[in-house]
Amino acid sequence: MKRIFGILLLAGTMVTAVKAQKISAAKVPAEVQGAFAKLYPGVKANWEMEKKDYEAGFTFNGKATSVVFNAKGLLLETETAIKPGELPAPVLAKLKGSKIAEAAKIMKADGSVRYEAEVKGKDLLFDLNGNQVKP
């Protein structure tokens, strides 16, 4: 039993490590730091590596926010926490009867918008019309 628990713990740790890894601001490329400072002057962020990209997590205008940049400082997306009730009506209709733990609005660099809803520990993505989309 201890062996199985140990294997599961190790597997969980490996999955978490692949998903995102905290890094110090000193390890963030100057291009990325400059792009962030230009968008959010004076704001301090916690940084993570997300695959090959850099994610800054911070509070902006009282809301939990994160932005993702590539290594050259190009903004890829902005995610802002919203209340579950602020999700678009078609998304709420799709999730009727489900308990939504957290929600967010995601603005992609191309201007497209996605909505994220955490249901039963899983992040589900939707477009404005309530259609579920893949990440």
Q: Return the C-alpha torsion angle 44, 49, 52, 57, nearest 10.
A: -40
Residue 59, domain member (yes or no): yes
* DSSP-assigned beta bridge partners for residue 56: 47, 67
- Give the chain's mean pLDDT: 89
Structural domain includes residue 83? yes
3-state helix, strand, coil in the chain (%, to 5): 30, 40, 30
Backbone angles phi, psi at 20, to 5 degrees: -155, 140
**pLDDT of res. 43:** 97
Task: Provide the phi-psi class of 73: left if phi over 0, else alpha when psi is between -120 and 50, else beta.
Answer: left
29 within domain boundaries: yes
Instruction: Give dist(CA 131, CA 11) in Å, integer.
Output: 32
What's the pLDDT at 19? Answer: 63
Domain assignment of residue 108, yes or no: yes
How many Cα neighbours within 13 Å face the side chain of 75?
19
Q: Does any domain span residue 45?
A: yes
How far is C-alpha 103 from the chain's CA centre?
10
Number of domains in the chain: 1
Query: For residue 14, is pLDDT > 60?
Result: no
Statement: residue 7 has pLDDT above 70: no
Q: Which residues are CB-contacts of 109 (< 8 A; sequence separation ≥ 6)?
A: 74, 75, 76, 77
- In-domain check, residue 65: yes
Range of the domain at 88: 21-133
Q: Domain holding 49: CATH number?
A: 3.10.450.360
Asked whether residue 11 is domain-assigned, the answer is no
pTM for the complete prediction? 0.81
Domain membership of residue 16 (yes or no) is no
Q: Is the pLDDT of residue 10 over 90?
A: no
